[in-house]
Structure 1
Amino acid sequence: MTRSHVPCRQKPAAGARGRRTGGWLAPALGLAVLAAPVVARGQTLQEALAQTYANNPTLATARAQLRVVDENVPQALAGWRPTVSVSGSVGYGDGSYRQRSQTAFGQRIGVTTDVERTIGSVQATVTQPLYRGGRTVAATRRAENQVMAQRARLLATEQQVLQDAVTGYVNVIRFQEEVRLNLNNAQVLQRQLDATNERFRVGEITRTDVAQAESRLAGARASRADAEGQLQNSRAVFQRVIGAAPTRLTAPQPLSPAARTNQDAAQVAALNNPAVVAALFDEAAARDFVDVQIGALLPQASLQGQALRSDNQTLPGVRTTGEQIVATVTVPIYQGGAEYAVVRQARQDAARLRQVVDDQRRTASAQAVQAWETLQSTRATVDSVRAQIRASEIALDGVQREAVVGSRTTLDVLNAEQELLNARVSLVRALANVVTASHSLAQAVGRLTARDLRLPVALYDTEAYYKAVRDRWAGLGDYSAPQPVQQ
């Protein structure tokens, strides 16, 4: 009787990191790959992650959002810079004026004169802020902290996208192997049903044995159909996240644990998790916003220079020109109380964000501990299931031999085969869980980035756009041209 088997150990895929563990994961996850010719080179997990990093739209959206937040800095710095404006007017005037004059004979008469004129004026104004109550300094600090928080959010998005890619990649291999195992099981059960029918025709067994074999075959076909459906679903997820349909995938290796113990994982996550970092900068930006609002209660000082020219405003041929420089100081006394409410509101928001920091630290630590424990449990599951497979193979062989001499029934054989199949499917799932759990642990401690994974891809430069626009006084161009940094 033909039975499925667990293939021999494979070498790690080309390009795998030195930090990854040995090739103990490849045996079960690489079953589907063995059917391909040896000369054919499969797609590795690192290649899939590199493609995801370069093409995933969710990641591209997060990068664009960072560029949006980068523009907060030049907006804040504009508080130091002068404003220049030019205004002008042109028009037509028509009127008359009456003037009394005295003739040579001493008589006073009124003389009316019609006046038609073209009216025009132009004025240039330059205003230089001198002191804005400290709002420019506070707004700049706030904008800088917002940029840093958004960079942390970009890392969080990058980690989540790469984790989704790992899950999609591993699921395709997993369900490919489950389809293969269920297809092989259905073929074995079909041959066993044929043999059972022959024995029934010669009277060696009863109709019950045939019905049991038919039932198991129908169940095997249902399991195969379910696995095929799951495989198609995983292929769709793979294409959505990575951006291309899966072809021939190479069995991946798990990452080496990012922490020695669960306590170490919790401590690193509390400091390095991107969600924690983003919360810290959000809280700093909120404190700066308090200073921005307090600035509205402080004096304001500015220097204004004007140059003007006015033609024909009252009479034709009359031109007025002038220049002036004016220093203005404004001291707010009371504006209805709204400014005080805004300050109080900003302080409460900063207090809220301080609690968010603590919440994010606890969440990150809990996720890291959970990921670490999941990784340890899945590794232990792999060892246990492998022992179960060895025992199930021995048991199946013994049941088959005993069934030949009539000491075991058809149901005993079917049960032994099903137990072996279940164990092999469990091994495939456990090995897949080891890979995803190792990457989940890296994500929890903030180490599932393209830089940490050393992906063969040009890294996105988070500072390029910031540097391009920070000190720019004018310009409407698009400064988001790709400026990668190859590490």
Structure 2
Amino acid sequence: MLRRLSLALAVASAASGMAWAADAPAGSKTGLVTVYNEAVKNNADLAAARANYGAISEVVPQARAGLLPNLSAGADMTNTDTQVDRSIGDLDSSRSGTSYRASLSQPLFRADRWFQYQAAKATNEQASLALSATEQNLILQSAETYFAVLRAQDTLASTKAEEAAFKRQLDQANERFDVGLSDKTDVLEAQAGYDTSRANRIIAERNVQDAFQALVTLTNNEYAAIEGIQHTLPILVPVPNDAKAWVDTAAQQNLNLQSSNFAVDAAEETLRQRKSGHAPTLDAVAQYQKGDNDSLGFNNSDALSVYDGDAEQTTIGLQLNIPIYSGGLTSSQVREAYQTLTQTEQERESLRRQIVENTRNLHRAVNTDVETVQARKQSIISNQSALEATEIGYQVGTRNIVDVLDAQRQLYSSVRNYNDARYDYIINNLRLKQAAGTLAPSDLDALSSFLKPDYNPDQDFLPPDLAKAAEAQLNGNPEY
């Protein structure tokens, strides 16, 4: 019973030069997993996140260096001229020499550096989880961008079908006007409807191009066509269908929330580091020097005053430093670190609340989508039947052209609403899994099993069993 709708599809498909998916051979169409893999290799945001993690991870060896030995070496070359005025005559002397030295320092007690090292490790873990969250977000972003193209293509297909239907209505209005069965008003109304549908089709064509451009931005690759999703995709409620279970999972596995936990750990260790600025420090030091006696400066010693050859000196000891007052710097840094810790804890709490809210909302959204998809599909059938009845009424004079045009608008609006509900269901499912921290590339693999390589939006944007369902409804069998 969808004879008129099928005819409109055929006319639109033949008349349009913008059938993106139909113009490319099936073998050249790109799938969802391929788009994701290209995004992993070429996405600029992910590459930047990886570089950022590489930079942040260096804080660990930098902090650890403060706990390890410090060894340095050096050399001195000196030339000293001395003139002394004495009562018995002037004394001139010139001395030169070269000396070498090596110094070793090993921290024995440095509480501030130890806590700095612990903070660095927490910061590294935080950065690692933030990178994982970015990688996980790319899964969702790839799906959103991919299905945005399919949504735009299906919208274009329905808009072209609508344009063809209005064009047919305009032709019929002109024919009826020519034989005197209607007045000029019907022609003008039909012309206005056709002009509006044509403008909508032009906008829909641009939206398809914009959607494909978003794929280019995501992957740095251009695609002529992509595989479409079949109408046989199961529309099922979440498993488990319990919002609390999803929230509990999110509290344990959400990557952003885990990252914020390590941010708090890093702030706590930083506060301990600042407080330890009041603590004493103890280092073991050793120094070895060798060189000319003159260059080492031993000639001021009575024991070595007559020795002009090479000399060696070895020093081993402990250095204890007890901070007493630093102008209030340490106390100020403690107060700063305490406020930073408070800020980090509050940010974590805010994030936790947002995640709980998002998880519950997405759980409700998926359940709503399940019912909405079925309701939208039924609305297409009902609107098609209403259009059939309205057209019959128009033919016998009980309905006017405005009623017919409105019925057509309702029909194609219901088509677009149905496809929007399908794609909303897919994306909300993925968003729910991301909120719970369970989203993985395998979820894209599961969706790919329902992709249709030869998908043609102009033919496949409607369920294949829709005509039979409409016929069953008109025959009094709504349970089809």
In structure 1, distance between residues paired with 2:416 and 2:286: 82
Within the candidate set 392, 408, 429, 1:438 is matched to 429
| Structure with more of its chain in helix, by fraction | 2
Matches within 5 A, 1:1-16: 2-4=4-6
1:345-397 CA-to-partner distances (Å, cap 9, x unmatched) read 32332233222222221110101111111222222221111111111122222
In structure 2, distance between residues paired with 1:300 and 1:403: 96
Q: CA deviation at 1:422?
A: 0.8
Aligned to 1:472: none
Per mean C-alpha deviation after superposition, the further-off stretch among 90-99 and 368-377 is 90-99
CA gap 1:237/1:434 in 2 versus in 1, 3 angstroms? same
Aligned to 2:56: 69
Aligned to 1:52: 39
1:156-198 CA-to-partner distances (Å, cap 9, x unmatched) read 2223333222211111111111111111221222232122212
Q: CA deviation at 1:223?
A: 0.9
Matched, 1:291 2:272: yes
Aligned to 1:471: none
Aligned to 1:42: 29
Compute the RMSD of aligned alpha carbons: 2.9
In structure 1, distance between residues paired with 2:243 and 2:52: 34
Aligned to 2:385: 394
Q: Which amino acid aligns with 1:3?
A: L
Within the candidate set 187, 212, 221, 1:235 is matched to 212
Within the candidate set 394, 409, 413, 1:422 is matched to 413
Within the candidate set 123, 130, 135, 2:112 is matched to 135
Per mean C-alpha deviation after superposition, the further-off stretch among 435-444 and 332-341 is 332-341
Matched, 1:271 2:252: yes
In structure 1, distance between residues paired with 2:67 and 2:28: 59
Matched, 1:353 2:334: no
Aligned to 1:118: 96
Point out where structure 1 has 5 or more consecutive residues left out of the alignment.
8-31, 101-108, 457-487
CA gap 1:255/1:208 in 2 versus in 1, 3 angstroms? closer
Contact kept, 8 Å, 1:270 with 1:362, in 2: the verdict is no
Aligned to 1:20: none
Contact kept, 8 Å, 1:161 with 1:241, in 2: the verdict is no
Per mean C-alpha deviation after superposition, the further-off stretch among 205-214 and 284-293 is 284-293
CA gap 1:236/1:41 in 2 versus in 1, 3 angstroms? closer
In structure 1, distance between residues paired with 2:387 and 2:257: 53
Matches within 5 A, 1:176-187: 176-187=153-164
In structure 2, distance between residues paired with 1:394 and 1:45: 36
CA gap 1:454/1:401 in 2 versus in 1, 3 angstroms? closer
Contact kept, 8 Å, 1:392 with 1:419, in 2: the verdict is yes
Contact kept, 8 Å, 1:158 with 1:449, in 2: the verdict is no
1:436-486 CA-to-partner distances (Å, cap 9, x unmatched) read 111111111112244775699xxxxxxxxxxxxxxxxxxxxxxxxxxxxxx
Counting matched residue pairs gives: 422
Matched, 1:370 2:361: yes
Q: CA deviation at 1:301?
A: 1.0
Contact kept, 8 Å, 1:181 with 1:421, in 2: the verdict is yes
Aligned to 1:156: 133
Matched, 1:170 2:161: no
Q: Which amino acid aligns with 1:430?
A: A
Contact kept, 8 Å, 2:24 with 2:225, in 1: the verdict is no
CA gap 1:39/1:355 in 2 versus in 1, 3 angstroms? closer
User: Could you state the TM-score of these two structures normalised by the residue count of structure 1?
Assistant: 0.79
Q: CA deviation at 1:274?
A: 1.6
3-state SS of the aligned residue for 2:228?
Answer: coil
Aligned to 2:79: 92
Contact kept, 8 Å, 2:250 with 2:437, in 1: the verdict is yes
3-state SS of the aligned residue for 1:122?
Answer: strand
3-state SS of the aligned residue for 1:137?
Answer: helix
Aligned to 2:472: none
In structure 1, distance between residues paired with 2:47 and 2:136: 13
Point out where structure 2 has 5 or more consecutive residues left out of the alignment.
10-18, 300-306, 448-480
CA gap 1:246/1:378 in 2 versus in 1, 3 angstroms? farther
Contact kept, 8 Å, 1:262 with 1:368, in 2: the verdict is yes
Q: Report % sequence identity.
A: 25
Q: CA deviation at 1:43?
A: 2.0
1:303-354 CA-to-partner distances (Å, cap 9, x unmatched) read 1111113434489955443111121112223333321232233233223322
In structure 2, distance between residues paired with 1:119 and 1:365: 75
CA gap 1:6/1:361 in 2 versus in 1, 3 angstroms? farther
